[in-house]
């Protein structure tokens, strides 16, 4: 349907009516009167349609406008066309919204759309099942009024949404949830909550399994090691081939023993993220003891071990874990740095952080390996690591300890020139 507004035809039509009226008036000798009457009739006709239009716009429930001829017919047709276009667009929009909602309902996660002020705009059915948030009755409520967990409030406060937040479901204490927030559009936030209870349970089972197996292996290994040591130190000299065989057994059993010990430490660190065990730790004293032990144990390689420790820099943490992290970095530096190399240990304030650094002039680490060396069982050079008795677990232990202490690990290394392992801790002054 297309209408072209022609001013010429409208004026022609009006002039025709007025001319016919004037002619008729002239014939009966009342030109002016007839002209006035016909103008009045035209005006009334227009007013009549104007009122019809107002009545339809404000009172009628019908979608189709009134019918008419002439210019008013065109106006009504135009309006009807606009309404149909509008309805078509609305239908398309509704279809899109329906598809988005179907998609969001099909998600295995609870999904909520929040405003930038974190008030609820929309939620799927899963959100009701695992979070107890109902749509549309909870619309307009702030998310932190409905999910009241200190860890979630802290997560929102920090505003770092790259990492997920873990909470227990507010309506079912057996469900462990992983929450993620993502800003989208100009002023909206997508909130996703995933049930990770199964994954957590499997992780727990894996940790328990490793811890139990390591624990069970410890006793037989100690027994074998004890007997081998007894045989090797017996008064009667062994034949050379037996001597060699028992020495190899002793080396391998010692390696297994260290591996089992590291596995036990790792599962202990993984299992006990106990905030209550945190206390003020005299780090200078702890590091000094480790440096002394390292110097004493390092007679063979004759490294130059130096330390620069800030005496009054204490931090809050779990002392056994902190010790474990520092020991691993120091013993790695000693293990991988060739004889007569140097190892420098530093404990100093750096800005608003406390910096623990172990720097050596050993072989360094290639850039492509730097990101992987904290992975469990990752060893750059397996044969060299075997020589040093490495298990590939030391830096995983460090990583877990740092996670418990909100600390960060930085690795600076030049291949062929040496490495520096730095830990940045949050500072708490001795008071
Ligand atoms: P490992 O018990 O094998 O030392 P780690 O997890 O402590 O296991 O270290 C992983 C790997 O990182 C090591 O196998 C080694 O290749 C590399 N590495 C760690 N510290 C150093 C260092 N100071 N210099 C060179 N390489 C290192």
Phi-psi region of 430 (alpha: psi -120 to 50; beta: other; left: phi over 0): beta
Helix (H, G, I), strand (E, B) or coil at 362: coil
> How would you classify the pairing of strands 279-281 and 304-309?
unpaired
The pLDDT of residue 105 is 86
Helix (H, G, I), strand (E, B) or coil at 360: strand
341 C-beta closer than 6 A to ligand 1: no
The pLDDT of residue 390 is 74
Q: Which residue's alpha carbon is at the smallest distance from atom 11 of ligand 1?
A: 379
Q: Which helix (H) or strand (E) holds 44?
A: helix 31-58
Best substitution site from 258, 265, 301, 332 to test ligand 1's pocket, by max atoms within 8 Å of Cβ?
A: 332
In ligand 1, the atom with minimum distance to the C-alpha of 364 is 25
The pLDDT of residue 431 is 44
The pLDDT of residue 430 is 47
Confidence (pTM): 0.66
Tokens describing residue 371: 């990101």
In ligand 1, the atom with minimum distance to the C-alpha of 395 is 6
Q: Tell how far the Cα of 264 is from the centroid of ligand 1, in angstroms.
A: 19
Q: How far is CA 385 from CA 197, 335, 388, 411, in A?
A: 37, 9, 5, 19
Where b means 16+ CB within 10 Å and e means fewer, 374-408 reads: beeebbbeeeebeeeebbbbbbbbbbbbbebbebe
| Nearest-angstrom CA–CA distance, 26 and 309 | 120
Q: Tell how far the Cα of 379 is from the centroid of ligand 1, in angstroms.
A: 6
| Nearest-angstrom CA–CA distance, 233 and 278 | 44
361 C-beta closer than 6 A to ligand 1: no
| Nearest-angstrom CA–CA distance, 333 and 360 | 6
Q: Tell how far the Cα of 272 is from the centroid of ligand 1, in angstroms.
A: 24
| Nearest-angstrom CA–CA distance, 125 and 146 | 16
Concatenated DSSP letters of 196-255: -HHHHHHHHHHHHHHHHHHHHHHHHHHHHHHHHHHHHT-SSPPPHHHHHHHHHHHHHHHH
Residues ≥6 apart with Cβ < 8 Å to 75 = 49, 53
Q: Which residue's alpha carbon is at the smallest distance from atom 16 of ligand 1?
A: 380
Best substitution site from 254, 324, 379 to test ligand 1's pocket, by max atoms within 8 Å of Cβ?
A: 379
Best substitution site from 324, 358, 395 to test ligand 1's pocket, by max atoms within 8 Å of Cβ?
A: 395
Q: Which of 278, 259, 256, 336 has the alpha carbon at shortest distance from 303?
A: 336
Tens of pLDDT along the chain (431 residues) come to 555 667 888 889 889 999 999 999 999 999 999 999 999 999 999 999 999 999 988 988 887 888 888 888 888 888 889 999 999 999 999 999 899 888 888 888 999 999 989 999 999 999 999 999 998 899 999 999 999 999 999 999 988 888 899 999 999 989 999 999 998 888 899 999 999 999 999 988 988 898 899 999 999 999 999 999 999 888 777 788 988 999 999 999 998 998 998 898 888 888 766 666 788 999 999 999 999 999 988 888 889 999 999 999 999 999 999 999 999 999 999 999 999 999 999 999 999 999 999 999 999 999 999 989 998 888 777 666 566 667 789 999 999 999 889 899 999 999 989 999 999 999 865 44
The pLDDT of residue 2 is 57
Q: Tell how far the Cα of 214 is from the centroid of ligand 1, in angstroms.
A: 22
Q: Tell how far the Cα of 385 is from the centroid of ligand 1, in angstroms.
A: 7
| Nearest-angstrom CA–CA distance, 301 and 343 | 12
Best substitution site from 327, 336, 375, 384 to test ligand 1's pocket, by max atoms within 8 Å of Cβ?
A: 336
The pLDDT of residue 159 is 85
Q: How many residues does the chain have?
A: 431
In ligand 1, the atom with minimum distance to the C-alpha of 418 is 24
391 C-beta closer than 6 A to ligand 1: yes
Best substitution site from 330, 345, 383, 390 to test ligand 1's pocket, by max atoms within 8 Å of Cβ?
A: 390
The pLDDT of residue 35 is 93
């Amino acid at each position: 349907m297309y209408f072209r507004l022609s001013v010429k035809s409208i004026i022609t039509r009006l002039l025709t009516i007025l001319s016919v009226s004037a002619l008729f008036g002239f014939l009966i000798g009342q030109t002016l009167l007839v002209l006035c009457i016909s103008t009045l009739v035209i005006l009334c006709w227009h007013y009549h349609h104007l009122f019809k239009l107002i009545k339809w716009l404000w009172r009628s429930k019908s979608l189709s406008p009134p019918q008419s001829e002439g210019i008013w017919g065109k106006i009504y047709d135009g309006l009807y066309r606009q309404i149909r276009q509008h309805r078509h667009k609305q239908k398309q929009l509704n279809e899109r919204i329906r598809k988005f909602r179907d998609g969001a309902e099909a998600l295995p996660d609870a999904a909520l759309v929040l405003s930038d002020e974190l008030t609820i705009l929309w939620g799927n059915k899963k959100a009701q099942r695992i979070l107890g948030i109902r749509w549309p009755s909870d619309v307009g409520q702030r998310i932190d009024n409905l999910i009241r967990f200190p860890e979630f409030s802290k997560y929102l406060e920090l505003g770092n949404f790259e990492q997920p937040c873990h909470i227990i479901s507010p309506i079912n204490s057996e469900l462990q949830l992983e929450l993620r927030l993502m800003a989208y559009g100009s002023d909206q936030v997508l909130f996703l909550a995933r049930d990770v209870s199964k994954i957590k349970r499997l992780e727990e089972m894996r940790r328990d399994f490793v811890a139990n197996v390591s624990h069970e292996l410890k006793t037989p290994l100690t027994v074998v090691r004890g007997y081998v040591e007894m045989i090797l130190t017996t008064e009667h000299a062994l034949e050379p081939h037996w001597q060699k065989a028992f020495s190899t057994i002793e080396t391998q059993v010692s390696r297994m023993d260290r591996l089992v010990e590291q596995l036990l430490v790792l599962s202990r660190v993984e299992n006990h993220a106990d905030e209550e065990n945190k206390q003020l730790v005299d780090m200078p004293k702890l590091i000094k003891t480790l440096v002394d032990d390292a110097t004493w144990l390092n007679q063979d390689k004759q490294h130059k071990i130096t330390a620069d420790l800030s005496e009054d820099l204490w931090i809050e943490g779990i002392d056994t874990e902190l010790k474990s992290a520092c020991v691993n970095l120091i013993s790695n530096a000693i293990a991988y740095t060739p004889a007569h190399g140097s190892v420098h240990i530093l404990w100093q304030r750096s800005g608003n952080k406390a910096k623990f650094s172990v720097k050596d002039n050993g072989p360094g680490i290639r850039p492509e390996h730097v990101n992987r060396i904290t992975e469990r069982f990752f060893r750059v050079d397996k044969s060299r690591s075997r020589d040093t008795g490495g298990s590939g677990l030391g830096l995983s232990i460090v990583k877990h300890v740092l996670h418990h202490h909100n600390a960060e690990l930085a690795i600076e290394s030049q291949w062929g020139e040496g490495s520096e392992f730095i830990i940045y801790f949050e500072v708490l002054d001795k008071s």
